[in-house]
Amino acid sequence: MNESFKRGAAEGFRAFLPLSVGLIPWAVVTGVAMRSIGLSPLEAMGMNVIVFAGTAQLGTLPLIAAGAPLWLIVLTALVLNLRFVIFSAALAPAFAGYPKRHRLLSSYLLVDGVFAILSERILKSQDAHWRWGCYIAPSVWCWVLWQVFALVGVLGAGVLPADWSLEFMATIALMVMLVPMSATRPMLVAALAGGLGAVLLRGMPLKLGLIAGIVIGIAAGFAAEHWQQRKEPT
């Protein structure tokens, strides 16, 4: 193995390790939530490997449980994953010269935490081996952690009583992601408008109220950002 790959891997792993511990409750809760809507252990772990995106998994579970139409489930997953388009665009220059299979693997493994902690260092480095090590080591670690602790949740869910309202764990998990996200004014506006829009438009056919609410939320957040910038020009 290449020396600078190893150095990159060590640095990436060290930087990501503390944050990755915070993933453990997510993974366990996602495991429990997948079982709580009636997925078998095999189906739950299948979803965990195929989808490998906590927000999209937790967000689509209530729709799968309710028997929502496939297009709505996929559209919701797509919206919940849209942030990755931004991450992908930001990271693409760092991987531009890599073989196709490297780029496929790094796409499948791209998660918020690794991007947040390491994207700056990876984009700054001129050494392609170092960049790959720094990205792939924490990303694989994150994947392993996610699968192992989801399995703990999947197997643990079976021993918990059915009338404990465990499906609410998924809602709590979505809130735990949402709350820190809403720290800035426009983000909070986007969240409130999106949520209230979905509540008020719940009567729309085909559960279109959910998509309408999301569109309203994005528009409101964007408008709030413009309004804030006009008020206090930077």
Q: Which 47-86 positions form the footprint of other proteins (CB under 8 A)?
A: 47, 50-53, 55-57, 59-60, 62, 64-67, 70, 73-74, 76-86
Element (H, E) at 73: helix 70-81
Closest separation between CB of residue 136 and other proteins, Å?
A: 13
CB atoms within 10 A of CB 64: 16
* CB nearer other proteins, residue 110 or residue 137: 110
Binding of other proteins by 22 (CB under 8 A): yes
Q: In the structure encoding, which two tokens stand for residue 224, read together?
A: 């709030």
Which residues from 124-163 bind other proteins, rule CB under 8 A? none
Nearer to other proteins, 6 or 57 (CB): 57
Residue 8 or 197: the one with the smaller Cβ distance to other proteins is 197
Distance CA 80, CA 175 (A): 14
b (16+ CB within 10 A) / e for 99-132: eeeeeebbeebbbbebbebbbebbeebeebbbbb
Tell me which residues in 194-213 interact with other proteins (CB under 8 A): 194-199, 202, 210, 213
Segment near other proteins (CB under 8 A); pick from 2-10, 17-25, 124-132, 145-153: 17-25
State yes or no: residue 18 binds other proteins (CB under 8 A): no
Residues 114/142, Cβ–Cβ less than 8 Å: yes
Does the protein bind other proteins through residue 20 (CB under 8 A)? no
Q: Note the Cα 85 to chain centre separation in Å.
A: 12
- Report yes or no: 109 and 140 within 8 Å, Cβ to Cβ: yes
Using rule CB under 8 A, residue 186 touches other proteins: yes
Dihedral angle sign, alpha carbons of residues 168, 170, 173, 179? negative
State CA 33 to chain mean position distance. Answer: 15
Among 10, 17, 104, 206, binds other proteins (CB under 8 A): 104
- The region of 2-10, 19-27, 118-126, 140-148 touching other proteins under the rule CB under 8 A is 19-27
Residues 6+ apart with CB under 8 A from 161: none
Nearest-approach distance from CB 88 to other proteins, in angstroms: 4
Q: How far apart are CA 31 and CA 111, in angstroms?
A: 18
Q: Does 15 bind other proteins (CB under 8 A)?
A: no
Residues 2, 4, 147, 171: which binds other proteins (CB under 8 A)?
Answer: 171
Q: Identify which of residues 14 and 83 has a Cβ nearer to other proteins in the complex.
A: 83
Cα 82 from Cα 76, distance rounded (Å): 10
Among 2, 6, 7, 25, binds other proteins (CB under 8 A): 25
178 counts as binding other proteins under rule CB under 8 A = yes
